[in-house]
Structures are given as C-alpha cells and as structure tokens.
Amino acid sequence: MEGRAGFPFRLQMQLQRGRFLVSTRDIKIDEAVFRGLAIGVSISDTYKRHICATCFFHGKEWIDDGSDVSDEEAGIFDIEKAKKLSVSSDAQLPYHCKDCQQVYYCSIKCAEGNISQNDITQQSQDFRAVRGDHWKVTRARPTTSHGRHCHLYQRLSQIHLETESATFTRLLIQILSTRETKHTSDQQMGEKEEEWVADMVSRVASNCFRTWTPDESKCYGRGALFPLASYFNHSCEPNCFVSSSADVIEIITLRDVSEGEELTFRYIDVNQTRDKRRQQLWDSYQFMCACSRCAS
C-alpha cells in the first residue's frame, strides 16, 4: 500500500509528539522511501564565493574565456570579457550579482538560473498531498531565480548577523518569494511583521538540512530546506539514513521496516553518550530525545 503522493508512508499527528511519518507497508532494507528537491538553498557567507548558487559547482578545474558574454550581461554581472579564468577548488567564482554581492555563479548559464520550474512545483504538490491540506506555492519558481529577492538580499547585507543566522534569513527570503506575500515587499515592517519574520527564521533553522558538494565529499553547513523530509523525526536508533547533495535529498532504509512503524533518521552523531546527544539535540533543535535507546 502506498500513501498519498505515492510514498510508502503517511503523516500522523499526536498531541504530545506533533507530526511524524509511519510506513504504510513493509519496506525492505536499502529501499529509497523519499527523494526530492529543496525548495530553497542558501550557501553560508563562508563559502558563497566558491559555490555556484545554481548548480552548486565547486572544486573542479575549468576554463571560461568569456567570449559568449554580451555587453548587457556584462552590465549585470562582474565579468571581465575575453579573460581566461582557471578556477581551483578555493578560487572565487567569476560571476556574481553586483547589486547584492550575495550570489556567485560558475557560468552565464547558471547566472540566468537555467533549471526547471516544474521540478520545484512537484515538491510543493507532494508536500500538499502528504499533509492533506491546501498548502501550496502560488507561483512556480526555480530556487536560483535571483531577481525576485535581490533587493531583499541587499537590505540583509546591511544588517550584521551571525553567519548561520544570515544563511537562514536568506533561505527564508527565497521561500517567501515563491508566494504572494506582503513580507517580500519593500514596505517598512511593523512590530508584528518583525515578530513573524523572527518566528519564521527560527522555524527555518529548526528544519534545515546540511548542504553538501555534489559528490557528498564536503559539508557547507545547514542551508537547504526540504519540507516533506522535515517530517522524518530523529531517533538515536534510526531505521533510515539521509543521502543528499546541496539541493537533492534521498532517504533510504537502514533495515527492514514493518508496516505502521515510524520512519526516522539521525539528526546528529549518535555515537556519543546519552547526555551529550540530548544536549546537542536541545541546543540545535530544542527537543529532548525520548527514543527507546535514550529511555533505556
């Protein structure tokens, strides 16, 4: 039996526990129970000059002679035409938005945000189906379509935030720009709006996944949001594990899972003492683990 949207799980809710996912059938070991795209990815300030905001390219040597760059494009991005660029793993990428200085690209194609809108729309449809309600994005938009939120990035860059807070706030800006909402406008925010934004940044932070290079060799912090994957709860004895790059996540079973069993994966390194695990979970996610391993 498959749940809504064709996934082998359904969403349940309990007053004390909140929402969680349970299997709708027996699932074999090494089976992918979920695969999806991020609805937003924000690269941290530490790495944003070295990672392409569209394809998340990093660490590959390449040459770009700038010969296909038009005068108009050169006016939008900082481009030195006809100059050969040999890029190493730690070199700054050659193209970036001159207005906000917050996003960098490995090519003009990536600077134009050349990815499929339909892929992003599908993620919202799957999320809506599993939730069984009317949550949806009102406008399909690639995660890397920068024009809709560049002005907000500019304003954000004028505020001195810690690196992780800035990452989460940029991610929230991306998400809000997929929807018709007053919070993405240039109007001055009142006290209620500021409280709302602070609450949303906190929610984003609590549900963010780590971003990785495409070959999963290096982690660049927490800055990717996969709404449906956020319903997988933590366990110190998980039955699933996460495989992800910057904008794609896959959740795979570690063992056979019985019908009706909750699907879980680990949020932290579980090879620590119980006290250290609980402290880390509380500091990062604000909950006290009550899995069978911690309760024993």
pLDDT digits (tens, 9 = 90+) for 130-147: 655 544 443 333 444 666
Q: Do 131 and 196 lie in a common domain?
A: yes
Question: pTM of the prediction?
Answer: 0.67
Q: Do 189 and 244 lie in a common domain?
A: no
Residue range of the domain that includes 20: 4-38+226-295
Domain boundary among 209, 244, 264: 209
Q: What is the pLDDT of residues 53-110, one digit of tens each?
A: 877 776 443 334 344 444 444 444 444 432 333 333 456 888 888 777 888 888 887 8
- Distance between CA atoms of residues 160 and 181, nearest Å: 25
- Distance between CA atoms of residues 106 and 113, nearest Å: 11
Q: Do 193 and 233 lie in a common domain?
A: no
> Is residue 235 classed exposed, middle or buried when 0-12, 13-18 and 19+ CB atoms within 10 A define those classes?
buried
Q: What are phi and psi of 192, to 5 degrees?
A: -65, -40
Query: H-helix or E-strand containing 40?
Result: strand 40-41
The count of domains in the chain is 2
Is residue 47 assigned to a domain? no
Q: What are phi and psi of 107, to 5 degrees?
A: -160, 165
- Distance between CA atoms of residues 173 and 189, nearest Å: 14
Q: Do 247 and 169 lie in a common domain?
A: no
Is residue 235 assigned to a domain? yes
Q: Do 162 and 202 lie in a common domain?
A: yes
Is residue 246 assigned to a domain? yes
Residue-level pLDDT at 293: 92
